[in-house]
Amino acid sequence: MSSLASKEGELVPTDVAAPPAAWVDLSLPDLRTYRRGLVEEEEKISYWRRLVHARIDVLEAESQHERPLLLSELIRVLGDTGTGRARSALVNVRVADDLPQLPVLKDMWVTELDPNDTREINAAVTRLRSAEHQLTVYRRALHERLDAATAELIVRYKENPTSALAAFATPHHVSGRAGGAR
């Protein structure tokens, strides 16, 4: 389950991603688990941002044709970032995650739009850009929390360098997945 909640159409972090009231209240293993949860949440949000970007790119490309895109055109649209660099991403494979609570994401792929209806295409792109903005703001907040948790880990490791070795001794579990603390 995603740790996002929707409040009047805006994404807001829920308690799962909330930082502790005081870092000293968290044990080192709990701090590592908290940080790993943030990393996993950031991966999910980044994944959904990439999907939103892809959908916008496809809608915009389809609006310039009077026919469905050919496979070669679709490959170019989805692979081109506009910077001369191809898109690539490493994505963890796991059981499907719940969608973040943005209404536009639920029908993002099932909505059939007339490629000749400029108003309909523009409205869909506007909704998707709004969703992308919300995901970006939320992702930025996750990065701030991730930076704070990382800084706290560094402080603790500087105080007790051998405590860093414990991160390699046993796997940590968050969301049913095993993985080492980063």
**Partners of 13 in the β-ladder:** 4
| pLDDT for the residue 104 | 64
Say how far apart CA 43 and CA 103 lie, in whole Å: 20
What's the pLDDT score for residue 107? 64
> Does the pLDDT of residue 153 top 80, yes or no?
yes
Instruction: Taking residues 99-128, report their average pLDDT.
Output: 74
pLDDT tens profile 9-62: 555 555 446 677 778 888 999 999 999 989 988 888 888 888 888 888 888 888
Q: What is the pLDDT of residue 143?
A: 92
Rounded mean pLDDT of 101-130?
Answer: 76
User: How much is the pTM?
Assistant: 0.70
Scored b (16 or more CB within 10 A) or e, 101-111 reads: bbebbeebeee
Residue 176 is predicted with a pLDDT of 46
H or E element that contains 132 = helix 118-159
Whole-number pLDDT of residue 51: 85
- Tokens at 128, concatenated: 């998707």
